[in-house]
Amino acid sequence: MRLAVGAGVVAAAAVGVAVLVPRRRWAAMAAPLKGALELPVAAAIAAWAAGLWHDLNAPTPPAFDDLRPFDEF
Number of other CB atoms surrounding residue 42 within 10 Å: 13
C-alpha to C-alpha distance for 51 and 37, rounded to whole angstroms: 18
C-alpha to C-alpha distance for 49 and 6, rounded to whole angstroms: 20
Q: Give me the pLDDT at residue 19, please.
A: 82
- pLDDT, mean of residues 49-67: 82
User: Where exactly are the structural domains of the chain?
Assistant: 2-54
Q: Give me the pLDDT at residue 70, please.
A: 66
Single pTM value for the model? 0.36
Model confidence pLDDT, tens digit, residues 11-56: 998 888 888 878 787 778 788 877 777 788 878 888 899 999 998 8
Q: Which residues contact 36 (CB under 8 A, 6 or more apart)?
A: 42
